[in-house]
Amino acid sequence: MSFSGVVYVNLSLSLFFFNFKPYFIFYISKPYAWLILQITHHTTMLKPQLNHLHRHKTAPPSLLTRGKKSFIAGDDGGANPTSFLSHNTLAFPVKRYNSFRSHPPNIRKFASQIKAVASEASTASNIKTISLKAVITVQMTVGGALSNIFTQALDDFTDMLGKSLLLELVSAEIDPKTGLMKDPIKDYAHRTGQQENEITYLAEFEVPEDFGSIGAIKIENEHHKEAFVESIVIEGSAIGPITVSCNSWVHSKFDNPEKRVFFVDKVSCLPSNTPSGLKALRETELAILRGEGVANKPREKKDRIYDYDVYNDLGDPDKDPDLARPVLGNKDFPHPRRCKTGRLPTKTDPLSESRSSEVYVPRDEAFSEVKNMTFNIKTVYSVLKAVIPSLETTLIDKNLGFPYFTAIDSLFNEGVNLPPIESDGFLKNILPRLLKSIEDAQNNILLFETPEVIDRDKFGWIRDEEFCRQTLAGLNPLSITLVKEWPLTSKLDPEVYGPPESAITKEIVERAIRGFCTLEEAIENKKLFMLDYHDIFLPYVHKVRELKNLRTTLYGSRTLMYLTPTGTLRPLAIELVRPPGNGKPQWKRAFTPCWDATGMWLWKLAKVHVLAHDSGFHQLYSHWMRTHCCTEPYIIATNRQLSKMHPIHNLLHPHFRYTMEINALAREALINSSGIIESCFTPGKYSTELSSVAYGQLWRFDHEALPADLIARGMAVEDPDSPHGLKLSIEDYPYANDGLVLWDIIKDWVTDYVNHYYPEENLVETDDELQAWWTEIRTVGHADKKDEPWWPVLKTPKDLIGILSTIIWVTSGHHAAVNFGQYDYAGYIPNRTTIARVKMPCEDPTEDEWEAFKRRPEDELLSAFPSQIQASQVMAVLDVLSNHSPDEEYLGAKIEPVFEANPQIKAAYEMFAGRLKELEGVIDARNADESRRNRNGVGVVPYNLLKPFSAPGVTGMGVPNSISI
């Protein structure tokens, strides 16, 4: 007769929110309570052997001799954490049996099963075997300690039994007799120790000599929680250690009975070279990642499915009809695709996807629960979810501007008082740059660091030469173009938008460049350059001006600049245009630097509008669209079509780290309806719609490579006699100068890599996985551009080198150039305003408006800047977006294990890494060169954005492998 006994387990647990050590009571049947005690005396029962061809040579140490372990995994002060039971912590009433012979019937049955396994193993002792050990490294995770306390107890008990992870060694060869996969060699791994944030497990195998080489390992997670498996190292092989780089979440078998498959690092091969014993696994794993046979339902956190969807989750029409947003990813609004989440449609709009507190990304794309990998995402999330809402409560009038310039300066020396923030202790730990506590007050202070641009020159933002210099060495050096034709005209329909001719006339230009050359000579000698935001913004001018919940305005604009003999740019004119509408004709005017008070103030205000245009275009297109959005389809296609055995998957994988996770967060709180972008940038609710229009009109994959981009903008021409094969239109163009060196380094590495795996040209065209990958990127990931003639063909290694170099450049150099200088350049609002909230005072003014402008022009300028709350929100977000996390992986800083497993690839990578270190010195030398006036001079910020390496924090340098923030 069975009856329930009570087991009291002392859990030495120090929870961060409790200050006591609780006792937890488990009700278990009496025989199993007896079993726990018996196990402590019969350690040979801890790890039943599943492999009939092997047994352990040494038994694990008795539980009674192991160090005491606390209940939470890893909280043991370095002691051996094999069990949470010891003779010092047994504090529960049980009936003790005198010996192993006196066990009850159900235990006798269990023991007989163990003996049977051991007996079968002994009968096979005449088979020659090789002893192998597998060391599994699992990273500890954080979060949810209390909510997971009971499953943690079960998992610790599983560890104690030596049944933590079930490993299966898979032969790379099929059985020659049957033509089928050989039976795997199985064993349970038991926990052996812990160092810092890593737990190690050990499995031991006796492998038959005719088993063949090991090609893969299957893992079944016996815990009730998922585990982040970092790596497996198999020791004892004649060829030396065999490494398996996992870096993956392995689900619990209770969530999904399917075992996870990991291929050995050395088995990196094209599909045609796949070992016979791994072909089926290779195909099956891809099918799982594609979600084949899975029901069309909301994805769960544990899922690993990669699929495509349109951007239909930015609006929230169920909350407010005004928060509805158009679907992006169709004929009207072309757009790259995102990862499918499977969330249900909204109630009010069946084409829009409902929103949720968490946005699905495939499990291995997320990183928020692994220690030392939480800095970026948690910091950004905290600013968006805690600091920004807190800011909104500090000011009653959200449109209140800065009353004077010293009020802007106070953000850096006095800060903004915040009300108490929930979990502010945690926030202070991860936001030390932003949140400062006051000893005698309950409130926090949002105190900003001084951006480098005004730390070096507080009044540099006023200077025209600095305004121009930043088009070459600032935050958005990707918009400036060469003027090739005159007169400047619009391509928009004149019936709708008015006369197409520009207000910047030949007379205006020649009056400004008199003494240098004529207009024709300036164009012929490549001396005129432009920021052209005319045709892209003009269709949205009236829409933006009619917004009810945002004080903003918009123009179409052109900014004309002249290249001086010293190699610097000088502004000639700014044109602002309002199309006809609302009963008014087209309004346009050209503003120039001049020497009277009224003209100079109008010039200053015109620059504010251009800066707002450039800030919006930079954030929405140069940054968000060209890097974040356009990369997501590459990631999805790579996981769906390229096996983890494929060398191209291995090459690209480091460059996709965390991108989908940060994109999901952006859709949740940055670019969504009423998010930071819509609330603080000029286009307002039309922001993402504008980025779609820009993608449709401007984006071409073949122009995303840096050399092609420079040529397309007229900033360079091909020249075999010039460095990098290009002659720059502006010799001192820091972004292009440093970027071309970096581009060459990347391309040379990719060339060595591709030529190693594709020594013959036909191998590219006959690689089914590779061809499916490229086809899917073009026709599904960028479906709205699938019929464009400019897509590169993929037939030869040279074609592949160009495609891969472009993708890697976009995720590394391009993104670094437009992201990590955000706070240093835009952290001071006057230097780079994100919004222009008032129209030009000369556009149809009333008498009172004009008199007010004449009386206090400074008020007009301050009114154009963002409001106090907009400025604070933008600065807080830019601070964290410019931040390098402590675990940042920089280009060339860390070799991937799969590269290291191949001597030729390892040598090529070491050369790649060495050249990147040399680039650091090249950039330092250029910044010290006084002849390079666009990166050296009094008060000038050196151009460091493409220096490959950086310390953590906001440094204005460092090129990570991937778009991880």
Q: Which residues are catalytic?
A: 623, 628, 815, 819, 965
SS3 content of the chain, % helix, strand, coil (to 5): 40, 15, 45
Q: How many CA atoms lie within 13 A of 26 on its CB side?
A: 20
| CA atoms of 763 and 270, how far apart (whole Å) | 9
| CA atoms of 159 and 165, how far apart (whole Å) | 9
SS3 206: strand
| CA atoms of 74 and 197, how far apart (whole Å) | 8
Residue 245, C-beta contacts closer than 8 angstroms, at least 6 positions apart: 231, 262, 265, 896, 897, 898
| CA atoms of 472 and 892, how far apart (whole Å) | 26
Residue 424, classified by CB atoms within 10 Å of its CB into exposed (0-12), middle (13-18) or buried (19+), is buried
> Measured between alpha carbons, how far is residue 465 from residues 462, 468, 557, 561, 919 in Å?
9, 5, 19, 10, 28
Closest CA to 142 of 431, 426, 435: 426
Residues in the chain: 965
Q: For residue 523, which amino acid is it?
A: I
Structure tokens at 951: 């310390």
Cβ(730)–Cβ(468) under 8 Å? no
Cβ(659)–Cβ(601) under 8 Å? no
- Residues 722, 725, 730, 734: is their CA dihedral positive or negative? negative
Helices within 349-451 (DSSP H only): 375-382, 388-392, 405-413, 424-430
Neighbours of 784 (CB within 10 A): 20
Cβ(581)–Cβ(542) under 8 Å? yes
Cβ(593)–Cβ(571) under 8 Å? yes
Residue 232, C-beta contacts closer than 8 angstroms, at least 6 positions apart: 134, 135, 136, 137, 167, 217, 243, 244, 246, 262
Residue by residue, DSSP assigns 522-576 as HHHTT-EEEEEEHHHHGGGHHHHHT-SSS-----EEEEEEEE-TTS-EEEEEEEE
Q: For residue 848, which amino acid is it?
A: D
Q: For residue 73, which amino acid is it?
A: A
Cβ(576)–Cβ(555) under 8 Å? yes
Closest CA to 866 of 200, 402, 236: 402
SS3 591: strand
- Residues 260, 264, 265, 270: is their CA dihedral positive or negative? negative
Residue 727, classified by CB atoms within 10 Å of its CB into exposed (0-12), middle (13-18) or buried (19+), is middle
Closest CA to 67 of 192, 201, 197: 192
Closest CA to 869 of 551, 547, 397, 550: 397
Closest CA to 805 of 680, 634, 599: 634
| CA atoms of 449 and 879, how far apart (whole Å) | 9
